């Protein structure tokens, strides 16, 4: 093989590796959304001359519309394992300037995050060199670990409830105990191998 041919092969490899980025010439917005099954990246392309609209979720193209004559509007799609409803609103601000807002489950991203802080608890820990993100959905008591809904066993105990599950052969338990204060409500604590794990803020 001549050295020139080797460079061509390398160029092709580089081109294919970054082809996703090459296509995104009209990228106007990127959001990261924390759901129970993980943190998802949403990217939006808007060609203001061609009217093109492309939505990517975690690098995968979900919507592609070419030659849209109406430059404002809404694109709806789903995100994550539980098919959470999402929408991108495209509004004209002035002249040829546009504003892009993301809605999750019918709420603005800000409202969604504020609500999520009230309805979920998240813990991040490392076991045996592997990182785990554990999420408790307080309304359903569903437990998610690295994108998978976990099999759990719940039981009533003297001071509240315990939800038991296993992660990588480690016994885990989420304890739910009343705070005794009406505004605080129930306190959820994750215990892994008899050790309390601090809650993460996402």
55-103 tens-digit pLDDT:
999 999 999 999 877 888 999 999 999 899 999 999 998 877 889 999 9
Strand-pair partners of 173: 164, 191
Total structural domains within the chain: 2
Is 126 among the domain residues?
A: yes
Q: Are residues 14 and 62 in the same domain?
A: yes
Q: Are residues 184 and 100 in the same domain?
A: no
> Does 16 score more than 80 pLDDT?
no
Q: Are residues 94 and 141 in the same domain?
A: no
Is 3 among the domain residues?
A: no
In this prediction the pTM is 0.77
Tens-digit pLDDT profile for residues 45-68: 998 888 899 999 999 999 999 987
Give me the pLDDT at residue 23, please.
Answer: 55
Is 110 among the domain residues?
A: no
Measured CA to CA, the distance from residue 192 to residue 165 in angstroms comes to 10
Q: Is pLDDT larger for residue 23 or for residue 188?
A: 188
CATH classification at residue 62: 2.40.128.180
Please identify, among 81, 105, 129, the residue that sits at the C-terminal boundary of a domain. 105
Give me the pLDDT at residue 13, please.
Answer: 42
Tens-digit pLDDT profile for residues 155-200: 999 888 999 999 999 999 999 998 877 777 889 999 999 999 999 8
- Which residues, 6 or more positions from 25, have their beta carbon under 8 angstroms from its beta carbon? 45
Measured CA to CA, the distance from residue 77 to residue 143 in angstroms comes to 25
Least confident of 5-9, 20-24, 89-93, 129-133: 5-9
Q: Are residues 27 and 83 in the same domain?
A: yes
> Does 20 score more than 60 pLDDT?
no
What percent of the chain has a predicted confidence (pLDDT) above 70?
88
Q: Are residues 53 and 83 in the same domain?
A: yes
Q: Tokens for 94?
A: 């002035």
Domain assignment of residue 63, given as a range: 9-105
């Amino acid at each position: 093989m001549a050295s020139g041919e080797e460079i061509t092969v390398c160029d092709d490899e580089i081109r294919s590796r970054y082809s996703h980025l090459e296509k995104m010439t009209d990228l106007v917005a990127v959001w990261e959304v924390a759901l129970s099954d993980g943190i998802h990246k949403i990217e939006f392309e808007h060609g203001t001359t061609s009217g093109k609209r492309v939505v990517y979720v975690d690098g995968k193209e979900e919507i592609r519309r070419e030659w849209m004559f109406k430059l404002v509007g809404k694109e709806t799609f789903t995100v994550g394992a539980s098919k959470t409803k999402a929408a991108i609103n495209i509004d004209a601000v002035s002249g040829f300037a546009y504003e892009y807002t993301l809605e999750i489950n019918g709420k603005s991203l800000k409202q969604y995050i504020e609500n999520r802080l009230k309805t979920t608890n998240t813990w991040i820990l490392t076991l045996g060199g592997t990182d785990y993100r554990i999420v408790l959905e307080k309304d359903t008591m569903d437990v998610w670990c690295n994108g998978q809904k976990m099999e759990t066993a719940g039981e009533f105990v003297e001071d509240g409830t315990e939800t038991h599950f296993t992660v990588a052969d480690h016994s885990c338990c989420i304890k739910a105990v009343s705070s005794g204060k009406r505004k605080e409500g129930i306190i959820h604590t994750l215990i892994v191998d008899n050790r309390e794990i601090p809650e993460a803020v996402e």
